[in-house]
Chains A and B, each alone.
Chain A
Amino acid sequence: MSRKNKQETAVNKPYKKKLIKRRKPNRSIAGDIVLYVFLLLVALIMAFPIIYAVSSALKPLDELFKFPPRIFAQHPTTDNFSDLFVTMGKSWVTFSRYLFNTVFITAVGTIGHLLVASMGAFVLAKYEFPGNQAFFKLVTVAMMFTGYVTQIPNYLILNKLGWIDTYWSIIIPAFASPMGLFLMKQFMEGLPTSLIEAAKIDGASEWKVFYSIVMPNVKPAWMTLIIFQVQALWNNKASTYIYSEERKTLVYALQQIQTGGIARTGQGAAVLVVVMIVPILIFVFSESQILETMASSGLKD
């Protein structure tokens, strides 16, 4: 019924007639079919572990050990999740505290990074000043090695600052993540300079240009920085720089549950779902904006 409607509207509006995309000249039908089947297969393989994780979080305990195993739960329950909260609700450091730690670290780290990196990216992208190019080169070099390289000196620096065993030991270094500055700068370069000049002629100060002209115009890049930062901080175990149990993050606490053996298998699966759901959901809701930003992510030399 609805399909018929669609077809009718397609006939009525000739410019919407591209229901079936016009075939490109360089494509053979056989090749297309083979490729699509291949893609579908790979997509299934890629999705399988995640689907399996979700379904085993919904399985009651007796189904988890059933043999031969089934991929989908026959009697889905949310027992595992409620068990998880019961187990952690009475523990020494409560579930809500772990959750607070993670949310606090993620939120402050992300907002701070967004602000600090955008401010830097703005002047790097839109102004010429001595050291501009050199600094940006340095940032791209910093993207070429992992955080593990700097972990030990970082520990010593944080120790000197007295930040070991505080939230700041995770939050403040996260502000300086080179990836965010890089993506933001590349995206801001696409912003018309005339926009900024016009605002300046109208007498806007540098800061005003930044927060009322530039920032609203780079919203897609915000989302991108947010997803990368949330993903990094949400999954941060924070076990190297933080010792006190009451400041540890959710992921760390959940990993303790996963090591709890057979009896905790169901809860372990629930843990996986709790941890992975946040970054994936953010990505699902902001995909188009992220792709818009990534279009300018190229590394030119």
Chain B
Amino acid sequence: MSSEVVTRDSSFFKKYVTLRKHEAKITWKKMKLSRNCYLFLLPYAVLFTMFYVFPVVASIYYSFTYYNILESPRFIGLSNYISLILEDDIFLLGVKNTLLIAIVTGPLGYIMSFLFAWLINELPRWVRSVAVIVFYAPSIAGNCYVIFSVFFRGDAYGYVNAALMNMGIIDTPKLWLIDPKYMLPICMLVILWMSLGTGFLSFVAGLQGVDRSQFEAGYMDGVKNRWQELWYITLPNMKPMLMFGAVMSITQAFGVCDVTMALCGYPSTDYAARTIVTHLFDYGFSRFEMGYACAIATILFLMMILCNKAIQSLLRRVGT
């Protein structure tokens, strides 16, 4: 009886193999037929693999080694991760700061992007295009955010200090960008100012494309006000854009470093404005501990991908 099972198994196995072989043959033939397609894709595919796919793999590999560029990498197992989580207090502070910034500016920036895109949607055409420029400009204005360091200057000449002192709310100037207490909120403010980016453009364009007749149908079916209209008609139509916008804001929220480095200095007082990315720079390009830096990069990578997947599965339920 057991032999019977074996023969049945093996015949099943054989069938499986022949089937796979057949499929592989068909795929091969298809591939041969679409040779031109591969030729077209080749330049991009090569560069993409070289500078996006391979680096992620390499980063995961190096994260298990000790590597300082001069010597060849030495395998040390998980100890990079262990020392990151158990010994490196500054890294944990960086994670905390990054998460705080991401939790505040990510969702808020996302909601702002959608809200303003939705509000300007009904404006006349030329007002809308001016509004798009006004809202979008901060995110492409290069390092214009440096101007905030003038507003929040620590002495009495800083505008915020001067205004608050004139109003009698504070009596001595606050060191906004040096005092660890105020650093993160100010950075968040600046990041929010810049958060109407690519996702916002996508929303504006998507809202223009929503089918008008659906609104009329909704009106017939008893949609009473603009909020119901938003939830029952606009949002379900906008789902693909919402997904895209979410990807953009998550990527931005976790990658924060430019603003904190420009405003609070690098390194900042008590590392109060340290983020994961600044920690990565510190180890990668100042101390040349590439293995350790790659471990940081891998953690950041996992955080971003997991967060993206979670948000996407959440967004799939919108309007249903």
- What residues make up the interface of A, taking CB atoms closer than 8 Å to B? 21, 24-28, 31, 35, 38-39, 42-43, 46-47, 49-50, 52-53, 56, 65, 67-69, 116-117, 119-120, 122-124, 127-130, 132, 135, 138-157, 159, 172-173, 175-176, 178-179, 181, 206, 210, 227-228, 231, 234-235, 240, 251, 255, 258, 268, 272, 275-276, 279-280, 283-284, 287-288, 290-295, 297-301
Contact = CB atoms under 8 A, between A and B. Distances in A.
A273 to B, nearest CB: 9
Given A138-B53, A149-B59, A300-B240, A119 B40 contact: yes
Given A130-B30, A144-B251, A149-B56, A279 B142 contact: yes
Nearest to B157: A67
Query: Which of B44, B136, B138, B209 counts the most chain A CB atoms within 10 A?
Result: B44
Interface of B: 27, 30-31, 34, 36-38, 40-41, 43-45, 47-48, 50-56, 58-59, 62, 69, 116, 119-120, 122, 124, 129, 131-138, 140-148, 150-151, 157, 159, 162, 193, 196, 198, 201-202, 204-206, 208-209, 215, 219, 223-226, 228-229, 239-241, 243-244, 247, 250-252, 254-255, 257, 277, 280, 284-285, 290, 293-294, 297-298, 300-301, 304-305, 308, 312, 316
Given A39-B116, A294-B205, A150 B56 contact: yes
30 contacts: A26-B219, A42-B116, A49-B145, A128-B34, A130-B34, A138-B48, A142-B48, A144-B305, A148-B257, A148-B280, A148-B297, A149-B301, A149-B304, A152-B290, A152-B293, A153-B58, A154-B55, A156-B290, A172-B51, A206-B36, A272-B147, A276-B143, A283-B133, A283-B140, A295-B206, A298-B239, A298-B244, A300-B240, A301-B243, A301-B312
Contacts of B53: 138, 142
Contact of A135 (B31, B45, B138): B45
Nearest to A227: B140
Contacts of A255: 143
B205 A295 contact: yes
B129 A287 contact: yes
Query: Which of B208, B223, B247, B277 counts the most chain A CB atoms within 10 A?
Result: B247
Contacts of A135: 41, 45
Given A25-B219, A152-B297, A291-B205, A141 B224 contact: no
Contact of A153 (B34, B54, B145): B54
Contacts of B59: 149-150, 152-153
Contacts of A288: 129
Nearest to A21: B124
A38 B219 CA distance: 26
A173 B51 contact: yes
Given A25-B219, A176-B44, 12 more contacts: A21-B124, A26-B223, A49-B148, A116-B43, A119-B43, A145-B300, A149-B55, A156-B69, A157-B58, A173-B51, A175-B44, A287-B133
Contacts of A181: 44, 48
B44 A120 contact: yes
Contacts of A283: 133, 136-137, 140
B141 A299 contact: no
B233 to A, nearest CB: 10
B305 A299 contact: no
B229 A175 contact: no
B148 A298 contact: no
A231 B134 contact: no
A240 B285 CA distance: 8
A211 B79 CA distance: 53
Contacts of A290: 201
Query: Which of B141, B159, B300, B308 counts the most chain A CB atoms within 10 A?
Result: B141
A157 B137 contact: no
Given A46-B134, A144-B308, A154 B36 contact: no
A157 B52 CA distance: 11
A68 B156 CA distance: 11
Contact of B146 (A43, A157, A272): A272
B147 A144 contact: no
Contacts of A130: 27, 30-31, 34
Contact of B251 (A42, A143, A176, A275): A143
A291 B45 contact: no
A66 B129 CA distance: 36
A298 B215 contact: no
Contact of B254 (A146, A150, A231): A146
Nearest to B307: A144
A181 B52 CA distance: 13
A176 B52 contact: yes
A146 B251 contact: yes
